[in-house]
Amino acid sequence: MIQVNPEDYAGIGTREAYGRVLLEIGRRNKNVVLVGADCVGSVRGATFAGEFPERTINFGIAEQNMVAAAAGLAVSGKIPVVSTFAMLMTLRACEFVRNDLGYANTNVKLVATAGGLSFCYGGSTHHALEDLAIVRTMPNLTIIVPADGFEVAKALVAAVEHVGPVYMRLGRGGEPDVYTEDYDFSIGKAVTMREGNDVTLIALGNTVRMALQAADQLAGQGHQARVLNMHTVKPIDREAVLKAAAETGRIVTIEEHTVVGGLGGAVAEVTSNECPVLVRRLGVPDVFCGTGSMDDMFCRIGIMPDQITESALELVRK
């Protein structure tokens, strides 16, 4: 069992944390194999590759082959951890993720970096704003989006121990810390970051910190917002969603992803069937985002803390 401590992953962001914990996992489990596509260094797999070159396979710019071969490695008893950029993992290799991982239910761990708008100046071709919607439709896949470096470490340990295909989405680094203390990470179980009964803010990944800031702003105006870190998009924590719906009556979802088919859609699917409440989905509207700094684009799509606060207030006033 790997002991993951918050101080060991403080201030390093999601991508650096992934490289650090992968090395520790590899030292303890000889079946773990790193599989890449001409970007092992960029996704922070270089330290693993340096210590375990015999367990590192670089396929070059051949993402489909990479995923297909990873499925073969899994069938042979290995635990492949496959890394490349999110838009390549889910778009270029989509058919192979669906058939060789989902349909075959193979024990492969996909770790996709540059998720969401983190490849900000790369433009729309390099943004990954559809990835969660794509993999969420595939049976058997577990989907995890950690909020900071510490949660990445906890999540990757859990993902490697989990039997079955996993898709984990990371940023490009520099994400602020959300957690300062240890907590029990469990796949499929949301983390309550703030208690409140006036409105619920449900976020994941890089937007958890903004939801927390919005909750502080709301508290300053006399409204107590519940904040849920829905780090697992699939299987979603139905119990936490329904409890929030019943107890607060209003939900705002915040995601660095298109509002079509992502976290907001998953939450709305749960509430509409069992506890209909107002659900405001904040994220990328049905558009391409162009280029700019991350804060500029976050502001453009309405997920900065003050914008989250205003959306929550609109629901509270109703």
Catalytic amino acids?
63
How big is the chain by its Cα radius of gyration, in Å?
19
Q: Find tokens 């619920």 and name the residue.
A: 200
CB atoms within 10 A of CB 100: 22
Across 41-66, b (16+ Cβ under 10 Å) vs e yields: ebbbbbebbeebeebbbbbeeebbeb
* Cα pseudo-dihedral 106, 107, 112, 115, rounded to 10: 80
| Amino acid at site 3 | Q
Q: What angle do CA 295, 85, 262 make, to 5 degrees?
A: 65
Across 154-183, b (16+ Cβ under 10 Å) vs e yields: bbbbbbbeeebbbbbbbbbbebebbbeeee
CA distances from 244 to 1, 194, 279, 282 (A): 33, 12, 11, 17
* Strands 56-58 and 79-85, sheet pairing: unpaired
* Cα pseudo-dihedral 88, 89, 92, 94, rounded to 10: -160
Q: Find tokens 């609109």 and name the residue.
A: 314
